[in-house]
Copies of this chain bind each other. A is one copy, B any other.
Amino acid sequence: MNPEPIFDLAHLAHVELLTPKLEESTRFFVDVLGMSESDRAGDSVYLRGWDDYEHHSLQLTASPQPGLGHYAFRASSAQALQRRVAALEEAGYGKGWKKDNIGHGPAYCFTDPDGHNLEIYYETEWYKPPEHLRPALKNQASRYPDHGIGLRRIDHINLLASDVRATRIFMQELLGMRLTEQIIFDDGSEKASWLTATNKSYDVAIAEDWTGTRGRLHHITYAVDSREAILRAADICLEHNVFMETGPHKHAIQQTFFLYVYEPGGNRFEIANAGARLILAPDWKPIIWSEAERKKGQAWGLPTIPSFHEHGTPPVEAADATPDA
């Protein structure tokens, strides 16, 4: 018998994004993307999409450079949290507990092999909407927004890593995530991997950092309900003079319908259609895309935009970079 799948991660919970322009980034996420502000404390602003059930799913933190502060998973139970912490400690990736957190209980801090900061926790604060954000239907977390793009919920994070393979194996072995798709080049090198802890087809993606730098961010993604909502998002971005890097279009890999923009702090941000695609098979066989297949570009023929292999945060001097299309 094969080993059983592990269900200790409940879902991607939040991302801390660093921004050199905290106010402008906040205005962008609230006014253009339609998120709501839950809290402010220290150098951070806490935000959420209208159907995120926790206190926040995005923490913006003032910083000289854009990039990733940390990201966090919620465990599926108190016991599951203990199991993951034990495994991480034993493997030597643990950094210890952070007790005093805004919006959730004690979090265990650790890093992946590439140096990205992660946290895992179980106890959380369910969002309680104020009167003006109370929804008409009580089975949604807060009011459906009547302004801006109206992001529904956090969807996934896309990391840049100097070593995709090592980070991917860490995700599988230490966190129990399941591999759904990969790009493997002809020389056997692993260029990108997509992993999930849920029925979504991915919660984390890892792509090779062409500069060889460790611990950087490619983008984070929030979900809206339909492809039409993404076309509308593009219309709204156009009116707000938001830089649209590429899209709306459909990825061949994972079939995500996407629009990529840059937020004012410089981080890449994706608006995606969560759609109906789910991975329900518990023994899903990872889809492998070859070098030749990747060269074909996006699903309907749009070439992959070169800046996808040139822009990450924080920015680095790409002197020794060997980008590949």
Contact = CB atoms under 8 A, between A and B. Distances in A.
Interface of A: 1-2, 4-5, 7, 10-11, 31-32, 51, 53, 74-80, 135-140, 143-144, 146-148, 152-153, 181, 198-200, 223-228, 231, 234-241, 243-250, 252-255, 257, 259, 273-278, 280-282, 287, 299-302
Contacts of A77: 1-2, 4-5, 282
Nearest to A244: B301
B223 A276 contact: yes
A85 to B, nearest CB: 14
A105 to B, nearest CB: 12
Contacts of A238: 136-137, 144, 299-300
Contacts of A76: 4-5, 282
Task: Give how many copies assemble into the complex.
Answer: 4
Given A144-B239, A225-B276, A226-B275, 6 more contacts: A10-B280, A140-B255, A147-B147, A199-B200, A234-B299, A275-B276
Nearest to A286: B139
Given A146-B240, A147-B146, A152 B276 contact: yes
B287 A138 contact: yes
Contacts of A152: 276
In the A-B complex, the 6 residue pairs with the smallest Cβ-Cβ separation, listed nearest first, are A274-B276, A147-B147, A11-B280, A199-B199, A76-B282, A7-B7
Nearest to A240: B146
Contacts of A299: 137, 234, 238
30 contacts: A1-B78, A5-B77, A7-B7, A10-B280, A10-B282, A11-B280, A31-B146, A32-B146, A75-B282, A76-B282, A137-B255, A137-B299, A139-B252, A139-B255, A144-B235, A144-B236, A144-B239, A153-B280, A198-B199, A224-B276, A226-B276, A227-B228, A227-B231, A234-B299, A234-B300, A244-B301, A246-B301, A247-B300, A275-B275, A302-B302
Contacts of A248: 248-249, 300
Given A238-B137, A241-B136, A300-B248, A200 B146 contact: no
